[in-house]
Amino acid sequence: MKFTYNWLKQYVDFEWSPSELAEKLTDAGIEVEDVQSLGGKIPEQVVIAQILSSEKHPNADKLSVCRVNDGTMERQIVCGAKNYKVGDKVPLALPGTAMAAGFTIKESKLRGVVSQGMMCSAEELGLPKGEDGLLILPADAPVGKKFAEYIGLGDTVFDIEVTPNRPDWLSMIGIAREVSALTGNPLKLPEIAITESGANDVTVKVETPELCPRYTARLIRGVKIGPPPAWMKSLLDKVGMRSINNVVDVTNYVLLESGHPLHAFDYNLIRGRQVIVRRAVNGERYEAIDGSQHELSAEMLVIADTERAVALAGIMGGKNSEISDATTDVLLEAAHFHPPNIRKTSKKLGLVSDSSYRFERGTDIEGLVWASNRAAALIQQLAGGQVATGIVDVLAKPIERRRVTCRYAQVNRLLGIEVPPATVKKIFVGLGLNVVSDGEAVTVEVPSFRVDLEREADLIEEVCRIHGVEKVPAKMLPAVAQVSEFDAQWDYRARVRQVLTALGFHEALNQTMVAEAPLRLQNPLTSDMGALRASLLPGLLQNLRTNVSRHQFDLKLFEIGRVFAVDGTEKLHLGLAMTGRRTTGDWQRTEKVDYLDLKGVLEELGLTAEIQTIPAVQARKMDLRDEVVLAELELPAAQPVEKHYRELPKFPAIQRDMALIVDEAVPHGAIMDAIAAAQNKHLERVELFDIFRGDPVPPGKKSLAYSLTFRAADRTLTDAEANAAHEQLKRAVQRAVQCEIREG
């Protein structure tokens, strides 16, 4: 949203400089993205002058001697340009003007004739080069006015970022209302004076009140289409809006002023003298004002006459009803449309306008009548004509304003400062809220232009913004954060990630929005993000394909993310995918991962899931190389984990090794059970570090080698004590398991 400093001052008084205004707005939550000064290039001594006469220079064939009026006196100017005529208005640099080219205008003689200034070209003034010769100004340019002021220099243009919840900031009046609340100065709305006469024979039929809750129409007869006044054209140019003609420019001006889009139809092109707000017919063809052709569908809303669509509701008018030089009667539309429908239609057709931008965010259903009256008055002023008596107003249902209560004590509690009740009420009134009751709490009636105010916290935020965020003191947070239920969930997910990472997995992060899934989005951002995913596995498979295409064949991936059921419920899932070699660090080991590898991962996590296998033959058809194993499961609710801590040992440990030769059928678990049953009080840890088969181990046998760590909690163990404990464990294992102690 762009606006200018001088324009804003028409609606509210303030003494801030442009830089101070930018700072105040930013502090109040209105982010100022850019501030551009339009002044400083053209000196103040350049004024608008009118050429009164022109004669040939007596001593130079290529020069002329002109008499000009600069608004205070007549001057004699020697000029070399040929593109002017008597009566033209041009910029005149008076004596003493310092030009951008580095020289100063002086009263001097040129070939024996005195010249009291210089008539200027666009290039000499630092403006974009136009035609050769002098810069010829419009006939209504005021003689004597400073040229910089006339073209809008000396002003400052602000460009602000408007958040979707504040559509009221998409207007001059909305910004002025904020400044009014910040300064305490009253908001000054322009006076509207309309002279009405004649009958308003427009009829309006709204077939879809759910998509168009309110539609108004005014009729202005006998207008004369022409260029807009210089002040309006200059203002539109400064904020980046192209000038078209006096009537269309009025609708654009009021859109910027009030934030409410309007549309002007050539009434004589409306067939049947009837406006019908309806859904489009599937396959209906439509040509917009910009010349683009569109095929419409039944979910789109159009403004039609008795025979065809004449506008795409809230987005763009039709070529078949636009204002032209031949227009004499104007039908002025001001309406309120359902934002999601406008957004969806605009996205589908790829048709965006200043109107659709505002309607998508929500416009003021109450304020549209003010905007219509304001535009009708300006059209009558600038294009003549007679405004028909009355306004056609089709309102689907009465407008109800919501009421919100704000407790004064809660304001002070949340902000951490004392804000007097009188200050709170003053802020609310300054923002346009109507106070309906007061006491320990204040209840306000929220106007329709404030779609964001729904609860007490919203009102307290307004107090904070306007009273001043800088007045809220900075405080240290508590040293110990409070424990919440979410902490346990977060810790559980962290443990899952830690285990999987230790097992060689890498975490994948994919979009929750996908191209196809049962739960479709009503207004997708793009065609490949039109649904909410129902599973993590398609995303993981795509991750595998992407890596394989880059010759990364050994992959272990996991993802923790939300999936969505058709009824809209969300669940947190864990997805796992493996392919390629089991061990990547040893080139001699080429075994591929399989079902059992993923089974072991799930066992390590203490979870169960159905494991899916994609054979290598099928995987190659999916642009993969090796067999793929997949699993997906819902992560269980996290249970608080009781943590146990013990002191770091003060005394050293002693290690001994024990190698056993057992039958192939004897499991490692049986050995561990035998060691545990021995209940050796000095045994601290047991670790299996080697499994060996082959000579000298007999066929059908295997060697299991264990590292035993012994330690005493109250003293340093002696070798004799460690050896005795070691021998005790050997005997215990031999009694429990048929084995042979391997020596050496």
Tally of residues, the chain: 744
646 in a structural domain: no
Phi-psi region of 283 (alpha: psi -120 to 50; beta: other; left: phi over 0): left
Q: Which residues on adjacent β-strands are paired with residue 542?
A: none
Q: Are residues 324 and 370 in the same domain?
A: yes
Q: What is the pLDDT of residue 276?
A: 97
- Single-letter amino acid, residue 549: S
Contacts of range 476-481, beta carbons closer than 8 Å, 24 or more positions apart: none
* pLDDT of the residue at 609: 94
pLDDT, residue 247, reads 96
The residues, any chain, with a CB within 8 Å of residue 614's CB and separated by 6 or more, are: 622, 624, 627, 628, 629, 630
Same-domain check for residues 495 and 415: no
pLDDT of residue 185: 95
Chain centroid offset of residue 476 CA: 32
Residues contacting residue 500 through CB under 8 Å, at least 6 positions apart: 507, 558, 576, 601, 605
Whether the CB-CB separation of 296 and 281 falls below 8 Å is answered with yes
Residues 511 and 610 in one domain: yes
Give the residue from 395, 426, 442 where a domain finishes. Answer: 395
> What is the reported pLDDT for 524?
84
Q: Is the pLDDT of residue 639 over 70?
A: no
Which pLDDT tens digit goes with each residue over 174-206? 999 999 999 999 999 998 989 999 999 899 999
Q: Which residue has the tokens 């000029």?
A: 79
| Beta strand segments in 593-698, E | 611-614, 628-634, 654-663, 683-692
Q: Would the pLDDT of 4 be above 60? A: yes
| Bond from prior residue into 696 cis (ω within 30 degrees of 0) | yes
Q: From CA 106, how far away is CA 512, in angstroms rounded? A: 72
What CATH number has the domain bearing residue 719?
3.30.70.380
Number of domains, the chain: 6
pLDDT range class, residue 147, cuts 50, 70, 90: confident
On whether both 349 and 429 belong to a single domain, the answer is: no
Rounded to whole angstroms, the Cα distance separating 387 from 223 reads: 10
The answer to whether the beta carbons of residues 319 and 291 sit under 8 Å apart is yes
What is the reported pLDDT for 351? 94
CATH number assigned to the domain comprising residue 128? 2.40.50.140
How much of the chain, in percent, has pLDDT values that exceed 70? 96
Write out the E strands in 143-230.
Answer: 156-161, 203-206, 214-221
- Contacts of residue 475, defined as CB under 8 A and 6 or more positions apart, other chains included, come to 416
Average pLDDT over every residue of 354-379: 95
pLDDT at 704 over 60: yes
Q: Looking at residue 716, what DSSP letter applies?
A: P
Residues 574 and 672 reside in one and the same domain: no
Asked whether residue 341 falls in the same domain as residue 369, the answer is yes
Question: Is residue 67 a part of any domain in this protein?
Answer: yes
CB 701 within 8 A of CB 664: yes
Residue with tokens 């007549």: 74
**Tokens standing for residue 596:** 């059992």
pLDDT over threshold 90, residue 235: no
Residue 583 within any structural domain of the chain: yes
- Judged against a pLDDT cut of 60, whether residue 40 lies above it is answered with no
The answer to whether the beta carbons of residues 411 and 460 sit under 8 Å apart is: yes
346 and 230, same domain (yes or no): yes
650-661 average pLDDT score: 94
117 belongs to a structural domain: yes
Residue 449: band (very low, low, confident or very high) from pLDDT cuts 50, 70, 90: very high
Q: Is the pLDDT of residue 615 over 80?
A: yes
Domain boundary among 471, 503, 521: 471
Q: Could you give the count of Cα atoms lying within 13 Å of 289 in the half-sphere of its Cβ?
A: 19
Residue 568 structural domain: 485-634
Does the pLDDT at position 585 exceed 80? no
pLDDT-above-90 percentage for the chain: 80
Round to whole Å and give the CA distance between 338 and 344: 10
pLDDT at 702 over 80: yes
Same domain, 532 and 445: no
499, with CB counted inside 10 A (0-12, 13-18, 19+), is middle
Please provide the average confidence, as pLDDT, over all residues in the chain: 92
The answer to whether residue 192 is domain-embedded is no
Nearest-angstrom CA–CA distance, 685 and 672: 11
195 located within any domain: no
CATH of the domain at 26: 3.30.56.10
Structure confidence at residue 642 as a pLDDT band (50, 70, 90): low
Confirm if 530 and 557 have CB atoms less than 8 A apart: no
At residue 643, the pLDDT reads 67
Residue 115's CB is within 10 A of a number of other CB atoms, namely 22
Q: Which residue has the tokens 């939550």?
A: 29
pLDDT winner (highest mean) among 236-245, 321-330, 687-696: 321-330
pLDDT tens, position by position, 297-349: 999 999 999 999 999 999 999 999 999 999 999 999 999 999 999 999 999 99
Return d(Cα 667, Cα 675) in angstroms, integer. Answer: 13
Contact 176, 6 (CB under 8 A): no
Domain annotation covers residue 16: yes
Q: If you average pLDDT over residues 525-546, what whole number do you get?
A: 93
- The per-residue pLDDT for 152 is 63
Question: Is 70 exceeded by the pLDDT of residue 479?
Answer: no
- According to the model, what pLDDT value does residue 729 have? 93
Does residue 80 carry a pLDDT above 70?
Answer: yes
* Model confidence band, residue 646 (pLDDT cutoffs 50, 70, 90): confident
Q: Which of 199, 151, 205, 158 has its CA nearest to residue 178?
A: 158
Residue 642 covered by a domain: no
Residues whose CB is less than 8 angstroms from the CB of residue 198 and which lie 6 or more positions away in sequence, other chains included: 221, 386, 388, 389
Mean pLDDT calculated for residue range 359-368: 95
- Tell me the two tokens of residue 681: 């009080």
Nearest to 692 by CA among 667, 665, 728, 660: 660
Alpha helices, DSSP H, located in 222-329: 230-238, 246-258
**Distance from chain centroid for Cα 2:** 17
Mean pLDDT of all residues in 539-550: 96
For 459-472, write each residue's pLDDT tens digit.
999 999 999 988 88
In this structure, is the dihedral angle defined by the CA atoms of residues 120, 123, 127 and 129, taken in order, positive or negative? Answer: positive
Residue 5 has pLDDT above 60, yes or no: yes
The residue type at 33: E
Q: Is the pLDDT of residue 485 over 90?
A: no
Check residue 138 and give its pLDDT: 78
- Find tokens 């001697």 and name the residue: 65
What residue ranges in 288-341 does DSSP mark as E strands? 293-295, 301-304, 309-312, 316-317, 330-336
Torsion from C-alpha of 612, 615, 619, 625, nearest 10 degrees: 120
Do 217 and 337 share a domain, yes or no? yes
Entry pTM: 0.63
CA dist 94 → 130, 275, 630 (Å): 22, 57, 84
Give yes or no: residues 208 and 245 share one domain: yes
Per-residue HEC secondary structure of 72-108 comes to CCEEEEEECCCCCCCCCEEEEECCCCECCCCCECCCE
Q: Are residues 354 and 301 in the same domain?
A: yes
The CB-side HSE value for 585 (13 A sphere, CA atoms) comes to 1
Structure tokens at 244: 């078209």
Q: In this structure, how many other beta carbons lie within 10 angstroms of the beta carbon of residue 320?
A: 19
- The pLDDT assigned to 478 comes to 66
Pair 610, 631: CB distance under 8 Å = yes
Q: How confident is the model at residue 575 (pLDDT cuts 50, 70, 90)?
A: very high
Which pair of tokens denotes residue 686? 């047991």
- The contacts of residue 168 (CB under 8 Å, 6+ apart) are 174, 177, 259, 364, 449, 450
Q: Which two tokens stand for residue 242?
A: 């192209």
Q: 501: helix, coil or strand?
A: helix
Q: How confident is the model at residue 482 (pLDDT cuts 50, 70, 90)?
A: low
**Are 36 and 207 within 8 A, CB to CB?**
no
Q: Which of 335, 334, 323, 333 has its CA nearest to residue 383?
A: 323
Q: Give me the residues paired with residue 531 across strands.
A: 514, 520
Q: Report d(CA 361, CA 466) in Å as an integer.
A: 23
What's the longest Cα–Cα distance across the chain? 135
Among candidate residues 442, 471, 500, the one where a domain is terminated:
471
Residues 110 and 170 reside in one and the same domain: no
